[in-house]
Structure 1
Amino acid sequence: MKINERSKFIINELIKRNTYVTASEIADLLQVSIKTVTRQLVNVEKILNENDLILERKTSKGMQIIGTEEQRQKMLEQIQSNGLHEYSPVERQNIVLSHLLKSQEPIKLLTLAKLLNVTEATISNDLDKLETWIKKMNMNLVRKPGLGIYLEGLEKDIRKAIISHIYKNLHEKNILNVLNKQEKNIKLKSGTDKFLLDLVDKDIIQKVEKAITTVVERENYNLSINAFSGLVVHLTLAIQRLLKGEIIKIDTKFLTELKKKKEFDLAFKISEEIAKVFDIVVPEEESGFITMHLLGARNNYQEGTINNYDNFALIKIAKKIIAIAQEESGIFIAKKSKLLIGLVKHLGPAATRIKLNLEIRNPLLNEMKEKYPQWMKLAKKAAKPLEEKLGVNLPEAEIAYLAMHLGSTLEDASLQKARKYNVLVACPTGIGTSKLLASQLKQKFTNLNIVAIVSAININYEFYQNEGIDFIISTVEINEATIPVVIVNFMLDDKDIDNIIHQMQLLPDENSGEYHKDNKSLVEKLSELNLFGFYIKSILKNFFYQDMVNVNSKEELCSFVSIYLLKENISQILEADLKSREEKGSTIIKDLMLLHTKSKVIQNLTVGIIQLEKSLKINEKEISTVLILLVPDKVDEKALETMGVLSESIIENTNLLDILHQGSKAEIYLELEKIYTNYFKKKYKKVMEG
């Protein structure tokens, strides 16, 4: 039996891992959608059954191959020796469409039939199936006996079709890496990928990416990764078409309106840079084309978009959407200001995209349809006010965006009535990464009560079991733990969130216990506040700042910090402690490095900032600013909590990172004072009222 390339890859991956693997993980490896993987599994299951193997599937766990070692090895040998390429109907149709979109000349049926090793009748049948999609793209499929087949349509529709075809089959988050073929771990997994990549000229896309980066950085204009990726792909195709003499046409009146937008200035500068790089004349219409994409990609609504909707109009629509969602779900969310603000920010660009008839992509569309059909159904009903205002039905991609906004708020609201879980957050020291993690957990889960932040190597299990701890969330492995542990990254990703939810589902519905502290006397409360004040004073008093530090490695950085802070006879101990902590993994947040540890030679809580003379490459990121957090080896939880406030603030305080990167010593110190003033006020209220 012939086995296509994707089936080979999936079978090989499942046998190699010999454990449960999710469709999402396979999709990431193949850079395709989950839907594509699910479709391929039908073929995979058939192949496995013919070889006396079973594809076992379990909800929330994934899938794995069941069979003897001998059967699995025999299957591996078969797929490795199977050198014949047999494309599935979907893969074959993708290849045919790629050729039609790329070619400016008619293509013979016989040419495509030979290429794909099928009959002309099969190709003709594939074309019948493609025709619906082609018409949806406002194009015609022309078949002329004796001459061949070709696509007929306006330049803007052909470009839109090419882009839609690429994004439909290549994973959104890796689009530029795949098209550039820059990352070593990205390989072409099937013949269809090759034909998709042939639609985009590699040399052109690299030059375009550089040209856009040059202008965007020079003009200090912010673009999201997806918006930047989309603009690069759009412009690359535009240049390829320009070089072939294909020019986009925009209505003169509409172009005049576009030229009034401030985005047109940036678009014009990008066009100038493109013209210089490629030594071509870029028509004004192309600047209008770029402007449309800048308008449609904006993350925040601003007045004066092409729709001319003011904030008041968008707020009215958003409130109507929320009212419908509330009525349909039975969950009260009308007073969720975060939801209203999020919807208003989204509706402006959404209306622009629809008005300008831009290609709307949502990389999570398939996942939303598969995992959250109830939110998609609800969002479809709630979208009516926007549809009535625009006079069109919203595409599925936009419905999915609304579902994401509404669904997360509705889930949070329903969780508030659900069981609360008492958890510990752990990292190697209990200083830096654990606080970063705790901050994100508070944002993601309303039903988690973080009882304490602890060091993973020193947990009093008996004490915390008695206090009703349900499980531990840790950034490192914990051996011989007597409380369930969920291992996550210090910067939470979707898989980590799924694992935490899975752990909640494993626990009984009733709380194992309720964490509470004994009632304290006034003297005890004042002593506790005095201790927090002492630790804050220690941090501010021992704050240090040093710029123009010249080091060539992480090891040299650890050595510099140790010698800078301590006498020579004990600095080596701190250096060893810092290096030991770094061996467990560096902590990098948006180009800021956290260098932190516990050490017996540190006497007081110490915070410092080091600005490097030249950047260091750590974890594939260029680092120029280092935040130092040091605590004595034996300190209580209150000291760790006080020090951890800074780590937590990096996630919650959007201005702090800028100040740490660019501020003077005095400016950074003032920011520390603000942070700890607010912290002490909250702590005072909690201790006195607790």
Structure 2
Amino acid sequence: MIFSSNENLLINLLNYSDFISSKYLANRLFVSTKTIYRIVKRINNISMESHENPLIVSEPGKGFKLNQHFRNQDIHTLMDFTEENNLNDLILSFLFKHPKKVKRTVFDEEYLSESSIERRLKKMQDNLNQYHIRLHYDWEYIWLEGEEINIRRAINDIFLEINKINSLNEIGVKINQIDKFFIDKQITVIEESLNEYLSYPYDLTVYTHIYMIIKRYREGEVKYLSSQEPLEKDEEQLMLANRKITKTAQTIIKNLEDYLGIKMSELEVYFAFQNIYSINIQKRESSNIDKKLAEEIAKHYITNFFSISDVTLLPASRSLYQDLYQHLLPMLSRLRMGIKIENNLLDEVVLEYEGTFSKLTKITETINNELMFDTKINDAEIGYLTLYFEKYKINRRETKNILLVCSTGIGTSELLKTRVESNFPNLNVVATMSQRQMKNNQTFIKENVDLIFSTLRMPFDLGTIPVLTISPLLTEKDIQHINLTLKELE
């Protein structure tokens, strides 16, 4: 485990002598006091596992301070990640050189005993098993056996793991300045070609892909691509439907060929296309299969999360549905291609929105069981989906959609609408209807309306939508009644 950014910030705010209140910490971290208690609990759980002592102590009414037990220690190095970092770096070096053999002398610099080397090799094999890659060694050499596509997936995942361990928003490996300048330039080429800014984590996905290509062609032998089957018809059609992305991918590969001074397999264009296509960008045309699948998954998340039989039963569901749908479309491309994205806010999301994240995780388990992809929806993706559900909840709390039902003329209904908007700026009047219009638009009302203000008594039931009978002139008594109702709804 590693402390997240909020956990590190909280530790930095504390000292060994004075208690600091949860309210002060909450204000500094821009979170609730409830979240402060959760963060402290998690920090202490990590500390107890490794050192059998809580890192933070507390007293009711006083707050929190650091445990005197750790006074003479560097608390930021309590969790030792040296071995894990070294192991990842070592695995990467073998992956880049595949299928070339590497001399066992790579362990000489670490001054390890033969038994320690054996343990290190076993750990490496355990990590590589999930990618169907075999590690072989004798008394002189170490080498890997696996398909190129699995080699690339392993490289991508280990990059993400290194980022997670180092808590960085950039690749946690050393890149020489010339390569870095070249890769940055390619990111700019993509942004300018598609007229879109590549934000985190999608910029990192493309960055690692380009860096991986450079390393693989420099250090290894990319044999798998020469024996790869040609593109299938649906893959060709997808590239034709997204000509701008295809042209951008061709430009990137041509630049790489010029930079490395080699001729690459034509399939590299398709792999580059896949990575750019998997980004959540506007100018992409998805296959009909992905569109239908994204639609079904979005509906499945919404109906199961809110325990409803149909998406339209959820008030103002369209905004949540669109957010999910636009994330799920490129996500399906990532799953199909084995591309994983990073989420450096995951720890904070789990702490802040534990209930929502947990609920979505259970729903995701059923979806993963149905999906035929080797790569499944992981915690990073669930973290992003959690934010969409929380955004929907906040919007629902802050803004209520109101329907005005008025039997009087246009002038009176417009006056009522103006008075409602003037007295309740957080209410959104979505429509003004007569009772006859209501009967013909019940589907719209159930999906988009939270509360109904009516100047006459309703002759039919609208289920769970509250109805307030008010005067066409909106009296002071009406205003008080509305305020009380809004508080009850909150």
Work out whether the TM-score is over 0.5. Answer: yes
**Corresponding residue for residue 212 of structure 1:** 187
Identity across aligned pairs (percent)?
A: 19
* 2:231 counterpart of 1:253: yes
* 2:91 counterpart of 1:97: yes
Query: Residue 294 of structure 1 aligns to which amino acid in structure 2?
Result: I
**Corresponding residue for residue 409 of structure 1:** 392
2:198 aligned residue (223, 228, 246)? 223
TM-score by length of 1: 0.45
**Corresponding residue for residue 298 of structure 1:** 280
**Corresponding residue for residue 163 of structure 1:** 156
> Mind listing any 5+ residue stretches in structure 2 that lack a counterpart?
30-39, 401-414, 423-472, 480-490
Superposition misfits of 4+ residues, deviation over 6 angstroms:
10-13, 19-22, 34-40, 685-690
Aligned-CA RMSD value: 5.0
Structure with bigger strand share is: 1
Deviations 1:215-254 (A, max 9, x none): 5325524433422232122112202222335336253123
* Residues 299, 321 of structure 2: 8 Å contact kept: yes
Deviations 1:283-316 (A, max 9, x none): 321111110011111244854x2x4337565434
1:288 aligned residue (258, 266, 270)? 270
* Residues 106, 150 of structure 1: 8 Å contact kept: yes
Q: Post-superposition shift, 1:174? A: 7.9
* Residues 56, 65 of structure 2: 8 Å contact kept: yes
Equivalent positions of 1:25-424 (< 5 A) are 41=47, 45=51, 55-57=55-57, 64-67=65-68, 72=71, 75=73, 89-104=83-98, 105-107=100-102, 111-112=106-107, 114-144=108-138, 146-171=139-164, 178-179=170-171, 197-198=173-174, 200-244=175-219, 246-247=221-222, 249=225, 250-254=228-232, 256-257=236-237, 259-260=239-240, 261-262=242-243, 263-300=245-282, 302-303=284-285, 305=286, 307-309=287-289, 311=291, 314-327=294-307, 333=314, 335-383=316-364, 386-387=367-368, 390-392=371-373, 394-396=376-378, 397-410=380-393, 416=397
* Residues 324, 382 of structure 1: 8 Å contact kept: yes
SS in 1 for 2:288: coil
Distance 1:155 1:336 in 2: 43
Deviations 1:367-399 (A, max 9, x none): 444554433332234347754763348332333
Q: Call closer, same or farther: CA 1:301–1:400 in 2, change over 3 Å.
A: farther
Q: Post-superposition shift, 1:136? A: 1.1
Kindly tell me the number of residue pairs found equivalent between the two proteins.
375
Distance 2:94 2:43 in 1: 25
Which structure ranks higher in relative contact order (CA pairs < 8 Å, sequence separation ≥ 6)?
2
* Residues 55, 63 of structure 1: 8 Å contact kept: no
Q: Post-superposition shift, 1:406? A: 3.1
Q: Call closer, same or farther: CA 1:219–1:16 in 2, change over 3 Å.
A: closer
Deviations 1:445-483 (A, max 9, x none): 669xxxxxxxxxxxxxxxxxxxxxxxxxxxxxxxxxxxx
Distance 1:406 1:223 in 2: 23
* Residues 365, 400 of structure 1: 8 Å contact kept: yes
Query: Residue 252 of structure 2 aligns to which amino acid in structure 1?
Result: I
* Residues 15, 65 of structure 1: 8 Å contact kept: no
Q: Call closer, same or farther: CA 1:170–1:349 in 2, change over 3 Å.
A: same
Query: Residue 55 of structure 1 aligns to which amino acid in structure 2?
Result: L
Deviations 1:177-225 (A, max 9, x none): x55xxxxxxxxxxxxxxxx514x44421321211331353255244334
Q: Call closer, same or farther: CA 1:244–1:264 in 2, change over 3 Å.
A: same
Distance 2:82 2:43 in 1: 13
Distance 2:369 2:80 in 1: 47
* Residues 100, 150 of structure 1: 8 Å contact kept: yes
Q: Post-superposition shift, 1:281? A: 2.9
Deviations 1:261-296 (A, max 9, x none): 322111112222333444443432111111001111
Query: Residue 315 of structure 1 aligns to which amino acid in structure 2?
Result: E
TM-score by length of 2: 0.60
Distance 2:187 2:116 in 1: 43
Distance 1:212 1:355 in 2: 23
* Residues 89, 126 of structure 1: 8 Å contact kept: no
* Residues 357, 382 of structure 2: 8 Å contact kept: yes
Query: Residue 173 of structure 2 aligns to which amino acid in structure 1?
Result: L
Equivalent positions of 1:488-503 (< 5 A) are none
SS in 1 for 2:132: coil
